[in-house]
């Protein structure tokens, strides 16, 4: 695989951090964002990637992120829209302000950042966009209204971007992991060791990048093979 220039959001922990480390280990250039400076510093020190404190829900942060990535790497080849948050509540008890705040990150911020990167990819007639959705965006569940709706939205906009960007040599892939052993919604250690790890998702993205450029993997779901197994 040729050396590529990655911009990864939400790269200071979980799936994002695993991808930062894997991409750097394979010799790629990486700029990543996060909101927790201590975690950003740790991932940057361990991987050699460039970390930026930025919130995808803030338009000015997205502008600054793209400018910094282009300034440091000379361009962007791979955009990974990984930043996201969760919120669970049953209909009748949904806090609309929390729903709007979640959509600002999971959907609107993702669109705003890609809106700034897409012209660069079109100009170079090549590139990749990976949108991290969820299997929650494939099947609804109790208390999932807000989170699942945001991930359904990510799947839908991914399909629109595929139609728009394929003629320009740009690949758009929507990645839908099932439950991953990460610090999600402040809960750690919530899974058994037979469920997915963040590195499993990172390896899947790198495998998609290793495919010949003539092929497009529009959407993929990633499940643990046997999450019910008890060690």
Q: Does domain 5-222 have CATH number 3.40.50.11540?
A: no
SS3 content of the chain, % helix, strand, coil (to 5): 45, 15, 35
Q: What is the pTM of this model?
A: 0.94
Does 128 qualify as catalytic in the annotation? no
d(CA 130, CA 171): 8
**pLDDT 10s digit of each residue in the chain, 231 long?**
789 999 999 999 999 999 999 999 999 999 999 999 999 999 999 999 999 999 999 999 999 999 999 999 999 999 999 999 999 999 999 999 999 999 999 999 999 999 999 999 999 999 999 999 999 999 999 999 999 999 999 999 999 999 999 999 999 999 999 988 765 555 554 556 788 999 999 999 999 999 999 999 999 999 998 887 765
d(CA 194, CA 178): 12
**Segment 108-166, tens digit of pLDDT:** 999 999 999 999 999 999 999 999 999 999 999 999 999 999 999 999 999 999 999 99
Catalytic residue among 87, 128, 147, 197: 147
161-167-168 Cα angle (round to 5): 85
- 8 A C-beta contact, residue 149 and residue 156: no
């Amino acid at each position: 695989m040729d050396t590529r220039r990655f911009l990864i959001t939400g790269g200071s922990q979980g799936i994002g951090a695993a991808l930062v480390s894997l991409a750097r280990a394979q010799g790629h250039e990486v700029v990543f964002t996060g909101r927790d400076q201590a975690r950003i510093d740790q991932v940057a020190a361990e991987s050699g990637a460039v970390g930026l404190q930025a919130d995808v829900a803030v338009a000015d942060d997205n502008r600054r992120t793209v400018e910094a990535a282009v300034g440091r790497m000379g361009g962007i080849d791979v955009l990974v829209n990984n930043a996201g948050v969760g919120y669970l509540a049953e209909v009748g008890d949904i806090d609309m302000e929390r729903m709007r705040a979640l959509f600002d990150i999971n959907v609107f911020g993702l669109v705003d950042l890609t809106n700034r990167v897409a012209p660069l990819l079109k100009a170079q007639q090549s590139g990749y966009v990976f949108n991290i959705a969820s299997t929650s965006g494939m099947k609804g569940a109790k208390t999932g209204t807000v989170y699942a709706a945001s991930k359904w939205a990510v799947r839908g906009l991914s399909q629109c971007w595929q139609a728009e960007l394929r003629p320009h040599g740009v690949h758009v892939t929507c990645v839908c992991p099932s439950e991953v052993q990460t610090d999600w919604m402040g809960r750690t250690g919530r899974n058994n060791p037979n469920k997915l790890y963040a590195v499993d998702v990172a390896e899947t993205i790198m495998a998609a990048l290793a495919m010949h450029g003539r092929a497009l993997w529009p959407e993929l779901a990633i499940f643990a093979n046997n999450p019910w197994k008890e060690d």
